[in-house]
């Protein structure tokens, strides 16, 4: 197939340096009479640039034109019945991009489609962090719900580059590295200076944290446990409660440390509104690292029962994959440093977050299979993830059950 050229994903943008590009959609008319059809030879390439399955825009064309569509994904063949002009289909493609790709808030195409438990379709923007819904009255939404986007984040390159698969497995965005801050121990460069500082300090503190962890197994009296927790907190204070996208002070004066200290001092009297207002007052309500502090300091030994209470706060603060990862980092510190006796409760804790729609399945799966020194020492990270296995197994079995139901239909 000859090259058809490349155009801006947003064709209303004339800037030739616009970073988001896609191949120009091509068409080919085949057959005649009642059997005439329009083949879309490069639909896979177009869909890959949009990070959507090629079946979605093809089906969108059928919905808009009132025409039957057919897909042969194995042979990469996508068809709309009838003879349709390429210009018309390109205009319809612009409509698909506007309705199902572009973030409604910032008009950036760097979005994933998420299907909620109530079967609403959300555009999760990796550029601005906003989650915006699609028009559920459109006929395509029924097709999307029945054919949800595949999400092979597990295969994402550890160093995150422009060619690594994006969440729907159909392409890449130029800004893909921004999504890859949850690397394993061999992981690549982080997306902000804070992460580099945390990793450097965590590396220096590994031996001390590991020793403290071993000491817990020697003496489990309440007094001894409290003393050791206090010692570990002292050595890890700057890593545990400080840092932010643009915060350079890793001490008690940082807004993150202030939030953590304030929560610990007032935890018994706090509700979701009070915590959010305090984070907003400190200017970090939208910072993903604030979720690490919240996860570590807001909850107690009764975390499973407390999660529903703070669900409104989490729903307000968790607006992207990065926020979810930071919350999981806080949970690692909660059960690995603050309350190590909670490690066996990790599956129930994850289930509680999952049931209030704070954590997404693929984020938890990736977290559960990638040991990281970003928030705690390596041994603690391994122990927490090992404890999470029953929940990860439940997620896999739920997926298998959904697939079986689809097969039965």
Is the pTM higher than 0.75?
Answer: no
Judgement on whether residues 189 and 137 belong to the same structural domain of the protein: no
Q: Are 278 and 293 in contact (CB under 8 A)?
A: no
Tell me, rounded to whole angstroms, the distance of Cα 229 from its chain centroid: 31
Q: Give the separation between CA 357 and CA 61, rounded to whole angstroms.
A: 32
Judgement on whether residues 133 and 186 belong to the same structural domain of the protein: no
What CATH number should be reported for the domain holding residue 256? 1.25.40.180
Which residues lie across from 299 on neighbouring strands? none
Judgement on whether residues 136 and 210 belong to the same structural domain of the protein: no
Judgement on whether residues 390 and 246 belong to the same structural domain of the protein: yes
Judgement on whether residues 149 and 185 belong to the same structural domain of the protein: no
Q: What is the pLDDT of residue 400?
A: 58
Judgement on whether residues 236 and 373 belong to the same structural domain of the protein: yes
Handedness of CA 117, 122, 124, 130 (dihedral sign): negative
Which domain covers residue 385, as residue numbers? 181-405
Is 171 a domain residue? no
Q: Give the separation between CA 274 and CA 26, rounded to whole angstroms.
A: 55
Q: How many structural domains compose the chain?
A: 2
Judgement on whether residues 131 and 15 belong to the same structural domain of the protein: yes
Q: Give the separation between CA 55 and CA 113, rounded to whole angstroms.
A: 14
pLDDT by 10s per residue, the chain, length 409: 334 589 999 989 988 888 899 999 999 999 988 899 999 999 999 999 999 999 999 999 999 999 999 999 888 999 999 999 999 999 999 999 999 999 999 999 999 999 999 999 999 999 899 999 999 999 999 999 999 987 544 333 333 443 433 344 343 443 333 333 333 433 333 344 544 554 555 554 444 444 344 434 445 566 665 555 555 444 444 444 544 444 433 455 788 888 988 998 898 888 889 999 999 999 999 999 999 999 999 999 899 999 999 989 999 999 999 999 999 999 999 998 889 899 999 999 999 999 888 899 888 898 988 888 888 898 899 999 999 999 988 888 765 555 555 555 5
What CATH number should be reported for the domain holding residue 147? 3.30.30.170
Give the domain-ending residue among 108, 138, 155. 155
Characterise 376 by phi-psi region: left (phi > 0), alpha (psi -120 to 50), beta (else). Answer: beta
Q: What is the pLDDT of residue 118?
A: 92
Is 106 a domain residue? yes
Q: What is the pLDDT of residue 115?
A: 94
Judgement on whether residues 137 and 46 belong to the same structural domain of the protein: yes
Question: Per this entry, what is the length of the chain?
Answer: 409
Is 166 a domain residue? no
Judgement on whether residues 229 and 95 belong to the same structural domain of the protein: no
Residue 354 Cα distances to 40, 122, 328, 350, 360, angstroms:
39, 17, 12, 6, 7
Q: What is the pLDDT of residue 143?
A: 95
Single out the residue of 349, 352, 354 nearest to residue 338, CA to CA.
349
Q: Give the separation between CA 65 and CA 40, rounded to whole angstroms.
A: 15
Residue 401 token pair: 């059950």
Residues 6+ apart with CB under 8 A from 234: none
Give the domain-ending residue among 137, 155, 173. 155
Judgement on whether residues 267 and 308 belong to the same structural domain of the protein: yes
Is 162 a domain residue? no
Judgement on whether residues 328 and 227 belong to the same structural domain of the protein: yes
Q: What is the pLDDT of residue 183?
A: 38
Rg (CA), the chain: 24
**DSSP assigned state of 28:** E
Give the domain-ending residue among 120, 155, 190. 155
Judgement on whether residues 95 and 203 belong to the same structural domain of the protein: no
Is 320 a domain residue? yes
């Amino acid at each position: 197939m000859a090259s058809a050229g490349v155009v801006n994903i947003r064709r209303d943008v004339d800037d030739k340096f616009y970073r988001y590009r896609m191949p120009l959609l091509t068409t080919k008319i085949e057959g005649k009479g009642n059997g005439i059809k329009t083949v879309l030879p490069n639909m896979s390439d177009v869909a890959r640039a949009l990070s959507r399955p090629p079946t979605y825009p093809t089906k969108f064309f059928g919905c808009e034109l009132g025409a039957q569509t057919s897909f042969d994904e194995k042979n990469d063949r996508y068809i709309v019945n009838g003879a349709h002009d390429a210009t018309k289909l390109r205009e319809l493609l612009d409509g698909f991009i506007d309705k199902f790709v572009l973030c409604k808030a910032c008009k950036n195409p760097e979005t994933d489609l998420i299907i909620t438990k109530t079967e609403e379709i959300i555009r999760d923007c990796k550029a601005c962090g906003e989650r915006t819904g699609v028009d559920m009255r459109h006929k395509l939404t029924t097709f999307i719900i029945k054919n949800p986007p595949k999400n092979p984040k597990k295969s994402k390159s550890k160093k995150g580059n422009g060619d690594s698969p994006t969440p729907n497995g159909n392409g890449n965005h130029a800004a893909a590295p921004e999504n890859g801050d949850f690397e394993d121990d061999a992981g690549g460069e982080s997306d902000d200076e804070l992460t580099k500082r945390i990793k450097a300090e965590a590396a220096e503190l590994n031996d001390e944290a590991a020793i403290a962890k071993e000491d817990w197994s020697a003496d489990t009296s309440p007094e001894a446990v409290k003393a050791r927790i206090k010692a570990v907190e002292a050595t890890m204070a700057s890593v545990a409660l400080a840092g932010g996208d643009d915060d350079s002070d890793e001490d008690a004066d940082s807004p993150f440390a202030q939030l953590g200290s304030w929560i610990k001092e007032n935890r018994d009297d706090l509700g979701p509104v009070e915590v959010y207002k305090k984070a907003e007052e400190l200017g970090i309500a939208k910072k993903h690292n604030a979720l690490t502090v919240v996860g570590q300091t807001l909850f107690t030994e009764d975390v499973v029962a407390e999660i529903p209470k703070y669900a409104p706060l989490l729903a307000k603060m968790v607006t992207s994959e990065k926020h979810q990862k930071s919350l999981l980092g806080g949970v690692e510190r909660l059960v690995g440093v603050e309350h190590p006796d909670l490690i066996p409760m990790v599956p129930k804790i994850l289930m509680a977050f999952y049931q209030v729609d704070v954590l997404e399945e693929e984020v938890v799966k990736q977290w559960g299979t990638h040991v990281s020194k970003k928030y705690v020492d390596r041994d603690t990270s391994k122990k927490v993830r090992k404890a999470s296995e029953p929940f990860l197994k439940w997620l896999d079995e739920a997926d298998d059950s959904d697939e079986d139901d689809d097969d039965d239909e």
